[in-house]
């Protein structure tokens, strides 16, 4: 696959790995405290914030929307958008890499861009997400009239590049309005109104020579044969293959028009009709730049962003890509539009924005959303207020230059880092036992399925290759993880509760016997171990030392 090359490309590919993990420090809670746990507004550099989120949210985000700087050679009020091309690519690459790690297997990422870097971004995202995971390039009509002061062409559109994490992503459909007056016929059996559409193809590619297999006779009620001949005598073709007609002919009807038979398909009125989204979005449908600025002025009349996005635009994306309750992430939050729309639509959200305007712009806007503000899409979705969110800032690195753990780190934070390091997945406290060293048991499966007849079939095989519904994957290994840290056993003396002694081991084994998989071997992290290798082997325990066996990057 072709790739981009630019100055410092090799270094850009290692940037994400070199970013230190940082603490996320709570600043304030807004709205309902219970709901606030699901939504985060984070102030800080988005590269470091994304790295800080990995242990807790890897593979958990259903939809990512970002509106990064366009590198348009003009300085924005809140961004330095005048980056050299190579610097811009080096800025985008590590962020895209971390965003990919946060995306769920059935998730998608949407990135707005203009023609200045759009085609380079497409190639860059091909490399990060895989060319086969490209979904669409949506063209958004961002203005409602031409710029009369434009030199040459008036730039009326932006691109929105959409990629999926895998083939598991399902594109949602949009509502389709139907004019009930057009459905003037009534089906005798069902009583449903319908309209007629000719079974003979019309318009482009409607000739027999275009699709020879769709020229075939259909028997009329009087026994005569009907062919798709156009009114002018030209040989046309049917809309359906012969097999489709045989299957769905109950949805057709025969009508004599001027002594000749016409065959029509019954199209029934559907109150819940939908359609696939197109790749061209008019400003009448999803808003424009001026609408977005007016929305922004609704919560801050003194200082607005130069390029906010309208709430209707984000609403359409979230409608296509997510369902209520799923997690949305915007790491270039700007004025806070993505978080505001996600909140109104009943989605969980994480927004990241650097600088003081995270507190001066985003925070007050989202507080107004919680209070029930009626701008943007509020009336369209019936928003009346509610919910909550937490405001957080990036704190100190988890590990110092020597790899030692920051004194502010607590058990749950280190547990998340260790779980991610060992399993490559996000840590879920519910999988362990709160108040104990037990983090959970991780199972690894082979990349094949064992069929009832004993054959093993790769998971990547086509479903048609598998004669029955595929059984569960074959278990390869299972490991339980324990952490002795921060006095989790109730004894915070350095030489006791965080050290694996004979008494501590007995307590861990007793705890392990009550888990769902007591047969699994144990990996125990602690500050020191007082047991010999023979005793550890007998108990099927691998000991790992804190901090030396914990990755600082």
pLDDT tier, 546 (very low <50, low <70, confident <90, very high otherwise) = confident
- Interatomic CA distance for residues 110 and 68, integer angstroms: 11
Residues 150 and 298 in one domain: yes
523 within domain boundaries = yes
Co-location of 484 and 387 in the same domain: no
Instruction: Give, in degrees to the nearest 5, the angle at Cα 395 between 394 and 397.
Output: 110
How much of the chain is helix, strand and coil, in % rounded to 5? 30, 25, 45
Pick the last residue of a domain from 205, 233, 268. 268
Whether residues 366 and 432 fall in one domain: no
Is 434 found in the same domain as 530?
Answer: yes
Residues 514-533 have a mean pLDDT of 93
pLDDT band for position 262 (cuts 50, 70, 90): very high
User: Mean of the per-residue pLDDT values for the chain?
Assistant: 87
The answer to whether residue 254 is domain-embedded is yes
Per-residue model confidence as pLDDT tens digits over 314-373: 999 999 999 999 999 999 999 999 999 999 999 999 999 998 889 999 999 999 999 999
Q: Write down how long the chain is.
A: 553
**pLDDT over 90 percentage in the chain:** 60
Domain boundary among 347, 363, 395: 395
pLDDT, mean of residues 15-31: 92
Whether residue 550 lies inside any domain: the answer is no
Residue that is last in its domain, among 331, 364, 395: 395
The yes-or-no verdict on residue 374 having pLDDT over 70 is: yes
Residue 80 confidence (pLDDT): 61
- Find the domain containing 16 and state its range: 9-174+276-395
What would the mean pLDDT of 1-11 be, rounded to a whole number?
A: 87
- 460 pLDDT higher than 90: no
Closest CA to 110 of 83, 137, 146, 72: 137
Residues 367 and 406 reside in one and the same domain: no
CATH code, domain carrying 95 = 3.40.50.150
Task: Give the 3-state DSSP-derived string for 171-236, with helices as H, strands as E and coil as C.
Answer: CCCEECCCCHHHCCEECCCCCCEEEEEECECCCCCCECCCCHHHCCCEECCCCCEECCECCCCCEE
Query: Which of 368-379 are b and which e, b meaning 16 or more Cβ less than 10 Å from the residue's Cβ?
Result: bbbeebebbbbe
Residue-level pLDDT at 493: 53
Determine, yes or no, domain membership for 551. no
Assign 63 a pLDDT band (cuts: 50, 70, 90): very high
Same domain, 82 and 49: yes
Torsion, Cα 487 488 490 492, to 10 degrees, reads -10
d(CA 504, CA 497): 8
Of 390, 410, 347, 415, give the one whose Cα is nearest residue 37. Answer: 390
> Could you tell me if residue 441 is inside a domain?
yes
Q: Which residues pair with 229 in a beta bridge?
A: 235
Same domain, 360 and 434: no
The answer as to whether 318 is a domain residue is yes
- The reply to whether 428 and 478 lie within a common domain is yes
Q: Does one domain contain both 62 and 118?
A: yes
Specify the number of domains making up the chain: 3
Whether residues 344 and 316 fall in one domain: yes
pLDDT in tens, 230-242: 989 999 999 999 9
* Confidence (pLDDT) at 177: 72
pLDDT at 271 over 70: no
Q: Does position 195 have pLDDT exceeding 80, yes or no?
A: yes
441/384 same-domain check: no
- Mean predicted confidence (pLDDT) in 427-435: 81
Average pLDDT estimate for 532-541: 95
Give the angle 196-201-203 at the CA atoms, nearest 5°.
105
Q: What is the pTM of this model?
A: 0.77
Residues 439 and 497 in one domain: yes
Please tell me which residue, 400 or 374, carries the higher pLDDT value: 374
Q: Considering the domain boundaries, does residue 403 fall inside one?
A: yes
Residue 405 lies in a domain: yes
């Amino acid at each position: 696959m072709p790739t981009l090359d630019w100055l410092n490309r090799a270094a850009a590919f290692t940037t994400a790995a070199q970013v230190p993990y940082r603490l996320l420090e709570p600043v304030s809670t807004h709205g309902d405290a219970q709901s606030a746990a699901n939504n985060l507004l984070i102030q800080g550099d988005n590269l470091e914030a994304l790295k800080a989120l990995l242990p807790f949210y890897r593979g958990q985000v259903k939809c990512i929307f970002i509106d990064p700087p366009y590198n348009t050679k003009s300085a924005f009020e809140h961004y330095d958008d005048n980056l050299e091309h190579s610097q811009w690519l080096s800025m985008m690459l590590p962020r895209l890499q971390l965003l990919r790690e946060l995306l769920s297997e059935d998730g998608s990422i949407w990135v707005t861009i203009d023609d200045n870097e759009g085609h380079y971004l497409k190639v860059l995202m091909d490399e990060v997400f895989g060319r086969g995971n490209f979904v669409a390039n949506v063209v958004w009509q961002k203005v409602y009239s031409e710029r009369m002061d434009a030199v040459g062409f008036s730039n009326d559109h932006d691109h929105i590049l959409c990629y999926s994490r895998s083939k598991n992503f399902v594109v949602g459909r949009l509502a389709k309005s139907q004019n009930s007056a057009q459905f003037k016929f009534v089906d005798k059996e069902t009583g449903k109104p319908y309209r007629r559409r000719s079974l003979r193809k019309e318009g482009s590619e409607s000739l027999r020579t275009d699709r020879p297999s769709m020229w075939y006779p259909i028997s009329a009620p009087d026994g005569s044969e009907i062919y798709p001949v156009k009114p002018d005598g030209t040989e046309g073709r049917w809309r359906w293959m012969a097999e489709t007609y045989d299957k769905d002919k109950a949805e057709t009807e025969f009508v004599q028009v001027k002594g000749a038979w016409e065959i029509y398909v019954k199209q029934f009125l559907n109150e819940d009709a939908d359609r696939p989204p197109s790749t061209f979005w008019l400003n009448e449908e999803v808003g424009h730049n001026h609408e977005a600025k007016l929305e922004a002025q609704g919560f801050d009349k003194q200082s607005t962003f130069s390029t906010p996005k309208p709430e209707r635009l984000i609403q359409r994306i979230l409608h296509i890509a997510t369902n209520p309750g799923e997690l949305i992430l915007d790491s270039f939050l700007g004025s806070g539009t993505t978080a505001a729309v996600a909140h109104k639509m009943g989605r969980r959200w994480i927004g990241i924005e650097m600088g003081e305007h995270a507190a001066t712009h985003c925070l007050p806007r989202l507080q107004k959303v919680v209070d029930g503000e009626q701008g943007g899409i509020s009336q369209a979705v019936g928003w009346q207020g509610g919910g909550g969110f937490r405001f957080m800032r990036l704190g100190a690195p988890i590990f110092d230059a020597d790899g030692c753990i920051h004194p502010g780190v607590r058990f749950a934070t280190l547990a998340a880092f260790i779980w991610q390091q060992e399993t490559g997945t996000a840590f879920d406290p519910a999988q362990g036992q709160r108040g104990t060293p037990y983090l959970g048991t991780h199972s690894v499966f082979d990349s094949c399925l064992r069929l009832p007849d004993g054959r093993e079939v790769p998971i990547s095989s086509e479903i048609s290759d598998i004669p029955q519904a595929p059984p569960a994957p074959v278990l390869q290994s299972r490991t339980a993880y324990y952490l002795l840290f921060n006095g989790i056993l109730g004894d915070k003396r350095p030489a006791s509760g965080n050290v694996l002694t004979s008494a501590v081991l007995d307590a861990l084994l007793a705890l392990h016997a009550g888990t769902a998989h007591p047969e699994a071997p144990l990996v125990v992290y602690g500050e020191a171990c007082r047991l010999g290798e023979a005793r550890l082997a007998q108990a099927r325990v691998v000991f790992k030392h804190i901090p030396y066996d914990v990755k600082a990057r």
